[in-house]
Structure 1
């Protein structure tokens, strides 16, 4: 079974498209997804990159481009009217669920992505975020504790630094067999990598 490492940030609309598409590919090729929640702002700062939505010409093009991918793969997307949204606390919640309640991780991640770009909600509003976690069956008091949990903060920082060290400069980014693929427009290369037979390594012991 091959492993797809998926680096993402909830604030990236292309990560939303990629989140849904990569699950289809993983199912088709019987691959495992290793979820890598990172802080895209930290990646941008370290690499000198910036969001295309901050550049008017790129932003206009991106709106058209997102709809093309949405139509191609039948993944409905709506731009969040409250954008830009600071995802620091949102990503800490995702990391915390991954660490402490992994059985709920995919459901929570799906709901958070949906609240960002599926059925958009104002996730800049702390009350709205707490309403969302309550709807998901998470205890708001526990979530509040997670936001200040040093283990959660450290894990998010470690994954972000790991991404930077591996050459990640934007989201979504995937690795298959330690080769990097950036952007949904490169998912056909990810699919090619998944279609290749896994290489098995054996070690011979000489006595």
Structure 2
């Protein structure tokens, strides 16, 4: 990036069933805004990324599942967010992600608002975000027509958009959710938020110019 180029957007790869993406989404938005950076939401399917990488699902171990369920509640409380244990995990969020990507093409602001409502529905209200009726209701709150939403969920282009998002995630080195790509540098996990803030205050260009 040269001195004459505006900084590009920060990419926020997320799965709507990721409690850690939920935990940091609000703070990440605020952090990007403070630094004058756009935050580009990129919903993906973590299970598809892990499958491509040959990595087992994180909830496959019962001991790890017990720990993660407790840590989910703690992490939400730490970030000041309401939390209710999800109705079921694991859960595929392909329908919600397809709606987001379709909406983003016509109204990026509404797409983010929809994304926030999906997080809230799953992690604070105990709703099943794999249920088409639930998603139709959430999308309707953003003014999306039912036919548009149904086509996004089940149409060929909706499936293709999400497949492209997963492919882009793999190309960007994504290994889970949340994963932030900041000026080509990847940060994985909710606990990376302080490092993202540090990097925004101290970009690579400053490090290279230091004696």
User: Which interval holds the TM-score relative to the shorter structure?
Assistant: 0.7 to 0.9
Going from structure 1 to structure 2, the CA distance change for 1:25 and 1:103 (only over 3 Å counts) comes to: closer
The answer to whether residue 90 in structure 2 is matched with residue 88 in structure 1 is: no
Unaligned runs of 5+ in 2: 1-6, 207-211
Aligned to 1:52: 58
Q: What does 1:168-187 align with in structure 2 at a 5 Å threshold?
A: 168-187=174-193
The question of whether the paired residues in 2 share the 8 Å contact of 1:38 and 1:160 is answered with yes
The question of whether the paired residues in 1 share the 8 Å contact of 2:114 and 2:138 is answered with no
Aligned to 1:160: 166
RMSD (Å) for aligned C-alpha atoms: 2.1
Going from structure 1 to structure 2, the CA distance change for 1:131 and 1:73 (only over 3 Å counts) comes to: closer
- When normalised by structure 2's length, the TM-score is 0.85
The answer to whether residue 193 in structure 2 is matched with residue 193 in structure 1 is: no
- When normalised by structure 1's length, the TM-score is 0.86
Distance 2:203 2:179 in 1: 22
The answer to whether residue 126 in structure 2 is matched with residue 120 in structure 1 is: yes
Unaligned runs of 5+ in 1: 201-207
Distance 2:15 2:193 in 1: 17
The question of whether the paired residues in 1 share the 8 Å contact of 2:121 and 2:127 is answered with yes
Query: Which range moves more in the overlay, 154-163 or 76-85?
Result: 76-85
Relative contact order higher in (CA < 8 Å, ≥ 6 apart): 1
Going from structure 1 to structure 2, the CA distance change for 1:85 and 1:145 (only over 3 Å counts) comes to: same
Residue by residue, what CA displacement relative to the aligned partner does 1:7-66 show, whole Å, maximum 9, x if unpaired?
Answer: 111111111112122112112322211221212121011012233223211111112322
| Candidates 13, 18, 42, aligned match of 1:36 | 42
Going from structure 1 to structure 2, the CA distance change for 1:104 and 1:198 (only over 3 Å counts) comes to: farther
